[in-house]
Amino acid sequence: MEQFEPDRLSAAQRAALRRSLTSGRGALTRRSLLRASGAGALTLGGLSTLAACGIPPAKRAGEAAAASDDFSDREKELVFSNWTEYMDTGEDDKGRPTLDEFGRRTGIKVKYTEDINDNVEFFGKIRPQLAAGQDTGRDLIVVTDWLAARIIRLGWAQKLDPSHLPHAYANLSPQFRSPDWDPGRAYSYPWTGISTVIAYNAKATGGRTVDSVTQLLDDPTLKGRVGFLTEMRDSVGMTLLDQGKDPARFTTADFDGAIGRLQKGVEKNQIRRFTGNDYTADLDKGDLAACLAWAGDVIQLQAGNPDIKYAVPAAGYITSSDNLLVPAKARHKANAEQLIDYYYELPVAARLAAYISYVCPVEGVKDELAAIDPALADNTLIVPDKAMTAKSHAFRSLTGEEETAYEEKFAKLIGA
């Protein structure tokens, strides 16, 4: 059984949580691809309080949640919790076109709530019910991959019925099909993908392209104007790829090698600083010539600054995802599955992607998106082509011991 005590959270893990919540993926800005990340964050904000409150996990790790009574046939309704600005809206922000169409088509009334600001905070809301084996009051939730993995492992997610998901099964992009935490997508389907790439200010680089971690760390013309991210999985993962290592299968020795490579960049003042999403202002001004960046930020910056460019290294890039789950004891599982499948229909997926501008996990959506906006359809940060997909890599799940050790090493590197 997976359990955590508050006093087992290391200083490095606490620092990682603070970074993530204030300026990293956990910051409360929906459009900047920001999330709380890592087991350390969950330990402090979620599972650590189980022991403190005397509430045991509902299941042993790895056990599936028992099927709850499903009232979908009798109750044509659904409660869907999501992040803010993660759903298309109509003119003047009135209505939600795709959700409204789903309701008209199916007769299912969707209560849509934007009550997720970060993974840790949201998990704190639903943890007591999940741990007690009770209905959370939600039939469908969207959480980032590390939290989805933990909920599944604790037995707090319901296994999905493939017969209810024909479009999802057929249209799911290959790069998202089989994460190590949910092989074959038995419990989850991605809502969107999150990509880490290299961004650069062409004016600041004198028109030169920056397209590799090696260039970030070794190009003397960039000295003192390079940024890496305070999110360990992004900075270390991209460095592992540059060193020819697989982020999905690396060893501790590989991790240490990546840390050593970054340490040299710090010691010779090649790296200006490690940042959260606050790199955007420096990149826009040219104070940072090049940096690791989240794709959603790049799209936003390009809208106002034509000098902002991006590159996907030949070695590949790190990807993560936000995922749809049906919590244990949800009353309307079949209705939730119907909604998941609906968003994997190509016209629907295109309308959603056109609004939120995140990586679309639906294969074959490009033609539908082109009918809405050809520029979006041609943007591989939203619709990855085969070459982009082939370069996508996920950072593997970590054990509790690895999480503690790796965050401590990374915190020492960045001076946190």
Indicate the SS3 state at residue 276.
coil
CA 116 to each of CA 124, 197, 241, 307: distance values in angstroms, whole numbers, following the listed order: 11, 26, 32, 34
Burial (0-12, 13-18, 19+ Cβ within 10 Å), 350: buried
Dihedral (CA of 14, 30, 177, 391) sign: negative
- Written as one letter, the residue type at 344 is Y
Q: Sort strands 317-325 and 140-144 into parallel, antiparallel or unpaired.
A: antiparallel
* Rounded Cα–Cα distance for residues 331 and 326 (Å): 10
pLDDT for 10 equals: 59
Global pTM value: 0.77
Lowest average pLDDT, out of 90-99, 134-143, 204-213, 260-269, goes to 90-99
Which residues have a Cβ under 8 Å from the Cβ of 288 and sit 6 or more positions away? 201, 204, 225, 226, 227, 272, 279, 282
Q: Which DSSP symbol is given to 95?
A: S
Maximum mean pLDDT: which of 116-125, 346-355, 401-410: 346-355
Which structure tokens are listed for 132?
Answer: 């007690």
Q: Which domains does the chain have, with CATH numbers?
A: 77-187+326-344 (3.40.190.10), 194-319+397-414 (3.40.190.10)
pLDDT band at 117 (very low <50, low <70, confident <90, very high): confident
Examine the pLDDT at 20 and tell me if it is beyond 90. Answer: no
Biggest alpha carbon distance in the chain? Answer: 67
Closest CA to 353 of 138, 190, 140: 190
Q: What string of DSSP letters covers 232-254?
A: HHHHHHHHHHHTT--TTT--HHH
Examine the pLDDT at 40 and tell me if it is beyond 70. Answer: no
pLDDT for 23 equals: 53
Examine the pLDDT at 25 and tell me if it is beyond 70. Answer: no
Closest CA to 131 of 61, 62, 57: 57
Please check whether residue 33 is in contact with residue 27, taking contact to mean a CB–CB distance below 8 angstroms: no
Please check whether residue 48 is in contact with residue 39, taking contact to mean a CB–CB distance below 8 angstroms: no
Q: What string of DSSP letters covers 150-193?
A: HHHHTT-BPPP-GGG-HHHHHHB-GGGS--TTSGGGSSEEEEEE
Q: Which DSSP symbol is given to 318?
A: E
Phi-psi region of 65 (alpha: psi -120 to 50; beta: other; left: phi over 0): beta
pLDDT one-digit tens code per residue, 281-332: 999 999 999 999 988 789 889 989 999 999 999 999 999 899 999 999 999 9
Look over the chain and give the mean of its residue pLDDT values, rounded to a whole number. 86
